[in-house]
Amino acid sequence: MADAFELLIRASRIISGGHEAGHTIGITDGRIVAVEPLESQASAARVHEFGPDVVVLPGLVDSHVHICDPGNSEWEGFATATRAAAAGGITTLVDMPLDSVPSTVNVAALQVKRDAANGRCQVDVGFWGGVIPGNLGDLEPLHEAGVLGFKCFLADSGSDEFPPVTAEQMTQALHLLRGLGSVLLVHAEDAKATAAIGEVSSRRYSDYLASRPRGLENLAIAKVIEAARTARARAHIVHLSSSDALPMIATARREGALVTAESCPHYLALTAEEIADGRTAFKSSPPIREAANRELLWNGLRHGILDMVVSDHSPCTPAMKEKGGGDFGAAWGGISSLQLGLPVVWTPARQRGFELSDVARGMAERPAKLAELARKGHIAPGYDADLCVFAPDESFVVDAARLHHRHAVTPYAGQRLTGTVRCTLLRGEFTDPDHPRGRLLAREGWRECGSSLSM
């Protein structure tokens, strides 16, 4: 590092190469050029130094976010979601193909979504495409247009525009995606078993939990595993809440199935036992389960069966959460946590002996790998200079009114959490709500797109 750089970051605590140590990071053109010992004599036009009270993490990558824009921008939007992400240390989002209108199930819909996002993002944003009945012919064009992978449901998605697929249709999609080298993300709950149980109408959380038992996930995950094995293709299970499924996934991997899985902050931090009657802010699909189940999920994360932790940020208006006056059957089933994910995870993680390097692996490195984002998720030469400056010992009480999500709706309101994000850097520059610098990302070598799909 004898040459001058545009920017140097010096800190006694940086997560790089899977370990925490003091480093000097040399940055030019928004990219990390070198990572050297803290005492390096390198020079730069600008230098930022951080003390021992903070840890510099790679910018987090959240590969499971419902931005709902366009079409349902009263729920959320690119400006508000990405502002919340930046405040939470997240530098890259991947937007889900549903809850926007139109759903991202063909190239024309992808173009509409890109147009809505262009110039409004505080952080970088990529897009998943959707798999629904009858759109197999749209998957290759979507892939060529730059989506990072695909998503399907095996049960009702809650959106008429995004119907579920059968196990056979999922297998057909996996065969096709194998040829494209792409991945299929699956919402794994069994449609037939769900329909047999029926909808619940109750203010009691225990009644809602009983209507979405672990078996719904277990049955569907078994189908995902079999489809991935048959097609010899990559399948990823989203928002896993049932700890029963972890042994199945571990066995499938040992036998060569290309199956990965994620969980979410709410499944790792919250428990069914603490949810009072009518507290529909806690409603998610699948549901938050019992404390014993939560501990088994942590073990799954510790042993690498769960690959990553992402938000499943699924926002809505307060009226949608309060529909039915606290009726868990009527209320929207989603949790807004984008800005809070890091402290929500870190608070219980440190109590269980996890290190910040583990958190960086599960919330930056592995989500970036899932989406094949080749320049995200690490502090290393050749990667984008996306950084999260985190004070791991600083605590705060969640004030929903101070969140940047469009609506102040969160089950974490009033909770004391440990760890605060001091600042976030995107390609070496501090994020600024008044100056959105986020780029729209496409697959293959991180070609960046404006509003046009031509590449």
Q: What is the pLDDT of residues 117-170, one digit of tens each?
A: 999 999 999 999 999 999 999 999 999 999 999 999 999 998 999 999 999 999
The domain that holds 290 is classified in CATH as 3.20.20.140
Is the pLDDT at 455 greater than 80? The verdict is no
Confidence of residue 3 (pLDDT cuts 50, 70, 90): low
- Residue environment code for 37-46, b if the CB has 16+ CB neighbours within 10 A, otherwise e: eeebebebee
- Residue environment code for 350-369, b if the CB has 16+ CB neighbours within 10 A, otherwise e: beeebbbbbbbbbbbbbbbb
**In whole angstroms, what is the distance from residue 427 CA to residue 436 CA?**
13
Give the helix, strand, coil percentages of the chain, each rounded to 5.
30, 25, 45
Does residue 443 lie in a domain region?
no
Does residue 271 lie in a domain region?
yes
The gap from C-alpha 412 to its chain's centroid, in whole angstroms, comes to 18
Specify the pLDDT at position 448: 43
Domain count within the chain: 1
For residue 141, which phi and psi values (nearest 5 degrees)?
A: -60, -40
DSSP sequence for 269-302: H--GGGPPTT-GGG--SSPP--HHHHHHHHHHHH
Confidence of residue 444 (pLDDT cuts 50, 70, 90): low
Does residue 54 lie in a domain region?
no
Please compute the mean of the pLDDT values over residues 44-73 and round it to a whole number: 97
Does residue 34 lie in a domain region?
no
Is the pLDDT at 445 greater than 90? The verdict is no
Specify the pLDDT at position 443: 86
First to last CA, the chain: 35
Does residue 190 lie in a domain region?
yes
Residues 397-431 pLDDT 10s? 999 999 999 999 999 999 999 999 999 999 999 99
Does residue 5 lie in a domain region?
no
Is the pLDDT at 387 greater than 60? The verdict is yes
323 backbone φψ class: left, alpha, beta (φ>0; ψ -120 to 50) = beta
Is the pLDDT at 336 greater than 90? The verdict is yes
- CB count, 10 Å around CB of 258? 18
**In whole angstroms, what is the distance from residue 253 CA to residue 226 CA?**
12
Mean pLDDT of the chain, nearest integer: 95
Query: What is the pTM (predicted TM-score) of this model?
Result: 0.96
Does residue 53 lie in a domain region?
no
| Token output for 407 | 């609506």
% of the chain at pLDDT higher than 70 = 97
Under 8 Å between Cβ of 97 and 162: yes
Under 8 Å between Cβ of 129 and 105: yes
Is the pLDDT at 446 greater than 80? The verdict is no
**In whole angstroms, what is the distance from residue 118 CA to residue 213 CA?**
41
* 320: containing domain: 74-379+393-417
Identify the three-state secondary structure at position 112.
helix
Does residue 20 lie in a domain region?
no
Specify the pLDDT at position 4: 86
Please compute the mean of the pLDDT values over residues 69-85 and round it to a whole number: 97
Specify the pLDDT at position 450: 38
